[in-house]
Amino acid sequence: MTDEELLRGMARGDQASFEALVHRYHAPLSGYLYRHLRDPGRVEDFVQETFCG
């Protein structure tokens, strides 16, 4: 599925779409943030806030 399809699914309340999007971007986002922050605790806080607001 494309990101757009997943976002449409999320807008309809589809939990599987949300989980697929998190699965797709969790590692890349974590890696990017770690390279800049060098603090695993803060990285996980930022990632959690990004996906769960």
Quick: pLDDT tens for 1-50. 999 999 999 999 999 999 999 999 999 999 999 999 999 999 999 999 99
Q: What is the DSSP track for the chain?
A: --HHHHHHHHHTT-HHHHHHHHHHHHHHHHHHHHHHH--HHHHHHHHHHHHH-
3-state SS, residue 14: coil
Query: Which pTM was predicted?
Result: 0.85
| Structural domain count, the chain | 1
> Which residue in this structure is represented by tokens 């449409």?
8
Range of the domain at 15: 3-52
Least Cα distance to 52 among 21, 9, 8, 27 occurs for: 21
